[in-house]
């Protein structure tokens, strides 16, 4: 069976697909690629269905050696891509011979690159998904040097493109639309305006669970605790420190802090690519 | 806050594809959850990705038209939670937890009596969360509800049987936790290689059996 061997795992490289929705009632997060659009594009470029697993890198890429000739593609955060040290295309299918070291470089903008291989990363699925869920510890371990990951058999021809159009990750500012509710009434009447006008920044404490922010604290109108309730992807939860947290793919399935609003899913890939320090604006919309 | 009528589920919009339906309490949430599952099985509920019961809400996520379901819900009559059918899951417990004496004191019984008292009730999984396979079990009468520890433990061993507020839970794996520990079980609460992976799901009946 074709496999790849991890040469340089990078800061955090995980196997991701479209996650395991449908198990939240058991306490299982949906997980899945944070920049789902980039994941899907990478799969399409190498001829995979969008459900096939890719590698999701964080900040500084990764390097792997392939033991057979294979087609791969890198999307998401733009970066230098090298095959045995020679520059090759980003955002396009690249065919390499057996033994090649594929090196995905440091992100030039954004945070997370996606590396698809024809046939997909074929680790054993857990509850129907190959995604690593950092909150629950489900799915394959993050990559470590020397780890060997199986690749599946290619099932379709790679895309006939030289380069694919990709939206550039945000560099100067991240604007997140926000639909108020379900607990907006737990906050002071001015809180939604404060959120809408507030100058927030992406906190370095952000991860696959949530995009944490730094900025003006949102004032609560109702003190006290909220009994735990179900949480959705994109929910903006406000913990006691008043700083909004946007829930990403590995978010807990239930939570006890009030949710002032929800960032619609199409805006979340940009959130997943926003580096710490990036200015964030929440654009409050009505559903 | 306006008073909630017991029988009136209150739907709250959660973004563009979800509804959070608020009810009076845990029993009402369990009843609404059971009714939602019944309607889904009968094919009378619109397609939905997740149905997540919690303490006094049920979340429906992945709806095409949450507004339509919200309007429809206003006309629902949710029957009381039907008695659970089928055999309960039996969890054998050695009642020797670190907080046994504290629980005994709160209950006003001797430490040796906690096992008999706790295992005498029928439990039901109200909802899951916190970790895969962690169920919040209701069934203890109000006079036996206990507070959480003021300072959570950094590591509660896997298999710990613990109490907090109205709930009993079994830790599927070692994790931090603030519940009072009464015992330990070898039952495997969560095994992704097993079908089903979770021993407990919302609605599951549970009995605890005293291991000596």
What CATH code is carried by the domain that includes residue B66?
3.30.1360.40
| B83 is a domain residue | no
Under an 8 A CB cutoff, do A230 and B192 touch? no
Do residues B100 and B203 share a domain? yes
Do residues B33 and B112 share a domain? no
Q: Is the pLDDT of residue B3 over 80?
A: no
Rounded to whole angstroms, how far apart are CA atoms A204 and B43?
46
| B80 is a domain residue | no
Q: Is B169 on the interface with A (CB under 8 A)?
A: no
Helices (H) and strands (E) in chain A, counts: 3, 20
Q: What is the pLDDT of residues B135-163, one digit of tens each?
A: 999 999 999 999 999 899 999 999 999 99
Q: How far is CA A180 from CA A256, A262, B92, in A?
A: 17, 6, 46
Question: How many CA atoms lie less than 13 Å away from B19 in the CB half-sphere?
Answer: 22
Q: In chain B, positions 97-156, which contact chain A (CB-CB < 8 Å)?
A: 127-134
Do residues B198 and B132 share a domain? yes
Rounded to whole angstroms, how far apart are CA atoms B170 and A245?
29
Peptide bond into A182 cis (omega under 30): yes
Under an 8 A CB cutoff, do B131 and A229 touch? no
Instruction: Report the largest interatomic distance among the alpha carbons of chain B, rounded to a whole angstrom.
Output: 55
Which positions in chain B touch A126 (Cβ < 8 Å)?
192
Which positions in chain B touch A259 (Cβ < 8 Å)?
14
Do residues B96 and B191 share a domain? yes
Residue with tokens 């520990």: B181
In which band, very low, low, confident or very high, does the pLDDT at A160 lie, cut at 50, 70 and 90? confident
Query: Which has the minimum average pLDDT: A18-22, A60-64, A74-78, A158-162?
Result: A158-162
B41 vs B83, more confident: B41
Which pLDDT does position A287 carry in this prediction?
54
Q: Is the pLDDT of residue B4 over 70?
A: no
In which band, very low, low, confident or very high, does the pLDDT at A225 lie, cut at 50, 70 and 90? confident
In which band, very low, low, confident or very high, does the pLDDT at A156 lie, cut at 50, 70 and 90? confident
Do residues B102 and B203 share a domain? yes
CATH code at position B110: 2.40.100.10
The residue ranges of every structural domain in chain A are 3-150, 174-284
Region A233-252: mean pLDDT is 96
DSSP-based three-state secondary structure for B39: helix
Nearest to A230 among B13, B17, B57 (CB): B57
With CA atoms as reference, the chain A residue closest to B10 would be A182
Which CATH number is A174-284 given?
2.40.100.10
> Chain A residues contacting B, CB < 8 Å?
21-28, 126-127, 136-138, 179, 181-183, 222, 227-232, 234-235, 252-254, 259, 261-265, 287
Q: How far, rounded to the nearest angstrom, does the alpha carbon of residue B21 sit from its chain's CA centroid? A: 17
DSSP-based three-state secondary structure for B101: helix
Region B39-62: mean pLDDT is 97
| B195 is a domain residue | yes
Nearest to B57 among A181, A229, A252 (CB): A229
Check: CB of residue A57 under 8 Å from CB of residue A81.
Answer: no
Which pLDDT does position A92 carry in this prediction?
94
């Amino acid at each position: 069976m074709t496999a790849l061997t991890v040469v340089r795992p990078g800061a955090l490289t995980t196997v991701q697909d479209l996650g395991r929705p449908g198990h939240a009632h058991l306490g299982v997060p949906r997980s899945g690629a944070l920049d789902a659009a980039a994941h899907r594009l990478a799969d399409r470029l190498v001829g995979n269905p969008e459900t096939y697993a890719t590698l999701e890198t964080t900040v500084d890429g990764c390097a792997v050696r392939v033991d057979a000739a294979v087609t791969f593609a890198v999307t998401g955060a733009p970066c230098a891509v090298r095959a045995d040290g020679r520059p090759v295309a980003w955002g396009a299918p690249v065919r390499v011979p057996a033994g090649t070291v594929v090196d995905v470089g440091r992100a030039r903008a954004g945070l997370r690159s996606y590396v698809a291989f024809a046939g997909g990363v074929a680790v054993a699925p857990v509850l129907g998904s190959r995604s690593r869920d950092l909150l629950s510890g489900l799915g394959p371990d993050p990559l470590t040097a020397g780890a060997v990951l199986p690749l599946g058999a290619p099932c379709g021809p790679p895309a006939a493109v030289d380069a694919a159009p990709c939206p550039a990750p945000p560099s100067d500012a991240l604007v997140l639309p926000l639909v108020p509710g379900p607990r907006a009434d737990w906050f002071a009447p001015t809180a939604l305006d404060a959120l809408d006008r507030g100058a927030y920044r992406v906190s370095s404490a952000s991860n696959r669970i949530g995009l944490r922010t730094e900025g003006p604290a949102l004032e609560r109108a109702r003190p006290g605790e909220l009994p735990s309730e179900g949480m959705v992807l994109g929910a903006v939860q406000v913990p006691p420190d008043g700083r909004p947290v946007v829930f990403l793919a590995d978010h807990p399935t239930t939570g006890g802090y009030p949710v002032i609003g929800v960032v619609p899913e199409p805006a979340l890939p940009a959130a997943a690519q926003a580096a710490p320090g990036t200015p964030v604006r929440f654009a409050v919309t009505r559903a | 806050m306006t008073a909630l009528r017991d029988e009136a589920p209150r739907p709250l919009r959660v973004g563009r594809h979800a509804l959070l339906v608020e009810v009076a309490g845990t029993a009402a949430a369990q009843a609404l959850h059971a009714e939602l599952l019944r309607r889904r099985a009968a094919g009378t509920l619109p397609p939905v990705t997740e149905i997540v019961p919690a303490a006094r809400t049920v979340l429906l996520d992945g709806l095409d038209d949450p507004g339509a379901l919200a309007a429809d819900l206003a006309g629902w009559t949710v029957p009381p939670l039907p008695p659970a059918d089928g055999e309960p899951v039996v969890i054998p417990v050695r009642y020797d937890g670190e907080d046994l004496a504290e629980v005994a004191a709160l209950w006003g019984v001797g430490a040796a009596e906690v096992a008999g008292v706790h295992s005498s009730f029928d439990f039901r999984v109200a909802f899951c969360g916190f970790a895969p396979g962690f169920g919040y079990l209701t069934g203890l009468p109000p006079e036996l509800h206990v507070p959480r520890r003021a300072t959570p433990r950094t590591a509660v061993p896997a298999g710990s049987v613990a109490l907090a507020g109205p709930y009993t839970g079994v830790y599927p794996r070692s994790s931090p936790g603030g519940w009072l520990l009464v015992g330990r079980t070898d039952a495997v609460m969560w095994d992704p290689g097993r079908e089903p992976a979770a021993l407990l799901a919302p609605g599951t009946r549970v009995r605890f059996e005293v291991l000596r």
